[in-house]
Structure 1
Amino acid sequence: MATLTHDRAAVSNRLRSGLLCAALSAAAFGLSGPLARGLIDAGWSPAAVVIVRVLLGALVLLPVAARQLRGDWNLLRRNAALLAGYGLLAVATAQLAYFNAVAHMDVAVALLIEYTAPIAVVVWLWLRHNQKPGRATVLGAVIGVTGLILVLDLNSGTATSGVGITWALGAMVGAAAYFILSAHAGDQVPGTVLATGGLLVGGLGILAAGLIGIVPLHATTNSVAFQGFIVDWWAPLLALGVITAAVSYVTGIAATRLLGSRLASFAALGEVLAAILFSWALLGQVPAPIQLLGGALILIGVVVVRLGEPADDPLASDTPLS
């Protein structure tokens, strides 16, 4: 009996710790869009913001990754394709497209569009691997698409644009790639090693694209204005790198290991709420009522899709995205 009580207490503590880590991760990721929008409004290009964010995050995580790697450099060589794909698609494409989206539309709207990614992954697995979704999955997809249509209502009074929608859909593709590539990581690549390698590859890839003129690359030392206060340019950059990259990945990995990928993926939806709250506090952006309804439908649709997937969900991942 004493052993059973001890086991229940351990499970309870594990759940509590996991949910706390998941909440911290979601809050950290949700802060990235509003901080990036402030820098973009101050004269930074989205590519420059992404480069600083991901490379600074990689620098913070590098000592932890090196400790996990334990000198096994062959592990990196054997998984070079995974690290490159993760960095270029799950990191570079997702973040660059998301930050470009928030330059043209409200943060919450861009994030809600990006969060249709789980539905896109289900469609990909159906078409590519013949993993036909069940009725609950189809229902969730229909609910999510209906919500997306409401979120994109151009008569709602919230700032949207065709360019912003296109970038947000690109972020959705990057997010979908994140889930797909993470499913192939298995236990071969430790979570922090995958995150650090992906951040390094993604940051250096965007830097190379900027240096040869593929994407605009410019920055300023202008002060950054938020709702009701102004800060020096370096403050949001430091927060982007340390909090929204390094801290968010570390706590996200911890949450996944404590809760399991399935429960952690539900908890990660808190990022949408965090982004809405931070956008309201820092930028004064509040979605219109019809878009709030659409956002709720998107989240409900994603949850229904998750519930409709089998227990051995191939989309298990080690870290969350934004």
Structure 2
Amino acid sequence: MVEMVRRHLGLGLVAMLLSCAAFGTSGPFAKALMTAGWTPGAVVLTRITGAAVLLLPFTLWAMRGRWRQVAHEMPRVALYGTLAVAAAQLGYFQAVARMPVGVALLIEYLGIVLVVLWVWALTRVAPHRLTGVGIVLAVAGLALVLDVTGQSTPSLVGVLWGLLAATGLAGHYVLAGRPTRVPATAFAGLGLAVGAVSLALLGLLGVLPMHRGAGPVLVAGSEIPAWLAIAELVVVAAALAYVLGVLGARHLGSTLSSFVGLTEVLFAVLFAWLVLSELPGLVQVVGGVVLLSGVVAVRLGERDEARRDARAVEADFDVPTPVA
């Protein structure tokens, strides 16, 4: 039995790390396309549409015989696709077009802190002390990442797009973390489809520019066809990343998988260096370490709160029976 648990944990860890590495390639390859004349909207729409098509057979298979059961949960799926898929990815790619990939992703990861602040505002219950420390560290790290007093301050517009991505990431944690009858693979596939439709409508209405570049793409100092970069974004950075992420989360659980998920920042910085020869400054690296430390502290605080609540529930049900 112990060997089986270890094998599952090992499988989950490998799947989650591969998922993070796959997601980490999205920013560098998207930025390479945007440098070649593609608009962020066109890159995002192409990526999530392609991923939705690739996952369509798996989505339909997972939903067979369940459409009537989960019909009432479709509004939640639609909100997930609009917020956690379309808004998150559009915000991230728009930010990547205006600042280093690593900096944009660090801003997006503030979404974890936004979830805590949102729950705090709704419940009026102060978070765990460790969570509070994590929030302070995350804000301090963000100030360093943005280098507000230095010479490499990112574009304000890029920061705002990054905050939109953070809001979308917060939506992912809130919406995807709730119990649902929709299978995980179908939830991701349907969310991608909704996100693609949302962005396509914005493009048709002229709200979101949709322009494709005509030439090749420069990757790691060499020119490659644009379709090859698109294929990487669709197959590796979207479809494969989502499937591996679902597999990893199922074996590791939400808490451990969220910690492992932080490695996406490291992978994104590595791929940005390999693909674009792009590295953040020293102050931003220090800020990134502080920010991620804050996110880890927030997660640890949430874990302790969950354990405390679980013990409280057990205590409520473990009431001694009075002796007559």
If the length of structure 2 is used for normalisation, what is the TM-score?
Answer: 0.92
Q: Quick one: distance in 2 between partners of 1:75 and 1:83?
A: 14
Q: Tell me the CA shift for residue 154 of structure 1.
A: 4.7
Gaps of 5+ in 2: 310-324
Tell me, yes or no, if structure 1 residue 222 matches structure 2 residue 206.
Answer: no
Do 1:53 and 1:240's aligned partners in 2 also have CA atoms closer than 8 Å?
yes
Q: Quick one: distance in 2 between partners of 1:168 and 1:89?
A: 14
1:298 — aligned with what? 291
Residue-pair matches, total: 307
Alignment-mate amino acid for residue 191 of structure 1: A
Tell me, yes or no, if structure 1 residue 123 matches structure 2 residue 123.
Answer: no
Q: 1:311 aligns with which of 299, 306, 314?
A: 306
Q: Tell me the CA shift for residue 202 of structure 1.
A: 0.4
1:319 — aligned with what? none
Q: Quick one: distance in 2 between partners of 1:260 and 1:187?
A: 16
RMSD over aligned Cα atoms: 1.5
| Correspondence list, 1:229-248, <5 A | 229-248=222-241
Tell me, yes or no, if structure 1 residue 278 matches structure 2 residue 271.
Answer: yes
Q: Tell me the CA shift for residue 130 of structure 1.
A: 2.9
Q: Quick one: distance in 1 between partners of 2:154 and 2:84?
A: 24
2:6 — aligned with what? 12
1:318 — aligned with what? none
Which 10-residue stretch deviates more, 208-217 or 220-229? 220-229
Q: Tell me the CA shift for residue 37 of structure 1.
A: 0.3
Tell me, yes or no, if structure 1 residue 160 matches structure 2 residue 154.
Answer: yes
| Correspondence list, 1:23-34, <5 A | 23-34=17-28
Which 10-residue stretch deviates more, 278-287 or 65-74? 65-74
Q: Tell me the CA shift for residue 119 of structure 1.
A: 0.8
Q: Would the alpha carbon gap of residues 255 and 131 (structure 1) be closer, same or farther in structure 2, given more than 3 Å must change?
A: farther
Gaps of 5+ in 1: 1-6, 315-322
Alignment-mate amino acid for residue 247 of structure 2: A
Residues 25-72 of structure 1: per-residue CA shift (max 9 Å, x gap) = 000000000010011111111111111100111111111111111232
Alignment-mate amino acid for residue 74 of structure 1: R
Q: Secondary structure at the match of 1:230?
A: strand
Alignment-mate amino acid for residue 265 of structure 2: V
| Correspondence list, 1:52-91, <5 A | 52-91=46-85
Do 1:137 and 1:308's aligned partners in 2 also have CA atoms closer than 8 Å?
yes
Q: Quick one: distance in 2 between partners of 1:249 and 1:46?
A: 20
Q: Quick one: distance in 2 between partners of 1:147 and 1:27?
A: 23
2:244 — aligned with what? 251
**Which structure has the bigger radius of gyration?**
2
Tell me, yes or no, if structure 1 residue 269 matches structure 2 residue 262.
Answer: yes
Do 1:151 and 1:292's aligned partners in 2 also have CA atoms closer than 8 Å?
yes
Q: Quick one: distance in 2 between partners of 1:291 and 1:266?
A: 21
Q: Secondary structure at the match of 1:133?
A: coil
Q: Tell me the CA shift for residue 188 of structure 1.
A: 1.1
1:192 — aligned with what? 185
Alignment-mate amino acid for residue 97 of structure 1: G
Q: 1:205 aligns with which of 198, 208, 212?
A: 198
Q: Tell me the CA shift for residue 75 of structure 1.
A: 3.8
If the length of structure 1 is used for normalisation, what is the TM-score?
Answer: 0.92
Do 1:106 and 1:158's aligned partners in 2 also have CA atoms closer than 8 Å?
no
Q: Tell me the CA shift for residue 97 of structure 1.
A: 0.6
| Correspondence list, 1:98-177, <5 A | 98-154=92-148, 156=150, 158=152, 160-177=154-171
Do 2:146 and 2:153's aligned partners in 1 also have CA atoms closer than 8 Å?
no
Q: Would the alpha carbon gap of residues 24 and 220 (structure 1) be closer, same or farther in structure 2, given more than 3 Å must change?
A: same
